[in-house]
Amino acid sequence: MEKALRVIQEITRQGIIKAYAIGGGIAATYYIEPLLTYDLDIFFIPAKEGLDVLTPIYDYAREHGFDIQPESILIEGFPVQFIPAYNDIVREAVEKAATLKYHEVEARVVTAEYLAAIALETGRAKDRERVIRLLEEAEIDRAVLRKILKAFGLSEKFKKLEKRINEE
């Protein structure tokens, strides 16, 4: 995983992408109980907006001999999935990411508050479960979370989820 994180750093340093943050199951695992996951999800802001924002990353991967899979790039056997910031909340989550340390490598990671908000917005059963886990296990700053939810019109959705949790 260290090698994969270093490659992502290098892709950013070379300006192939503007910014990145780890999201998905690994970001969740950083804050809560470890989850079964198979990809390292990387949300990124492209260097240039356009239709094919993945091409420069895949070109880099090919040049460096990494195995390209249908959904991910294998960096020394480690599957990395690059996901362009697909809406405003993900974009802001990347811009305001925190820093984690894995052995000697530093990497950007979506904060617990943005992770909860993104999961709430996505809204599948496993995402709702993730919000609940984050609320129970992570050190969530409720004031920050409320601010994010308000900014992205998710306050009502959150109230409904909280109501359901309290009823159970």
Partner 1 sequence: MKNRAAEEIFRKKRRRRRRLANLPFERKIEIVVELQKMASPIRKDPRHVIWPI
Tokens of 29: 């695992």
Tokens of 106: 């530093």
* SS3 category, 113: helix
- In this complex, which beta carbon is closest to partner 1, that of residue 36 or of residue 51? 36
| Number of helical (H) and strand (E) elements in the chain, helices listed first | 8, 7
Q: How far is the CB of 150 from partner 1 (least distance, A)?
A: 26
Q: How far is the CB of 146 from partner 1 (least distance, A)?
A: 22
Q: How far is the CB of 63 from partner 1 (least distance, A)?
A: 22
List residues near partner 1 by CB under 8 A. Answer: 1, 25-26, 29-38, 69-71, 74, 76-79, 100-103, 133, 136-138
Q: How far is the CB of 38 from partner 1 (least distance, A)?
A: 5
- In this complex, which beta carbon is closest to partner 1, that of residue 28 or of residue 45? 28
- In this complex, which beta carbon is closest to partner 1, that of residue 3 or of residue 150? 3
- In this complex, which beta carbon is closest to partner 1, that of residue 10 or of residue 137? 137
| Distance of alpha carbon 3 from the chain centroid | 18
57-61 long-range contacts (CB < 8 A, ≥24 apart) are 57/11, 57/16, 57/17, 57/82, 60/11, 60/14, 60/16
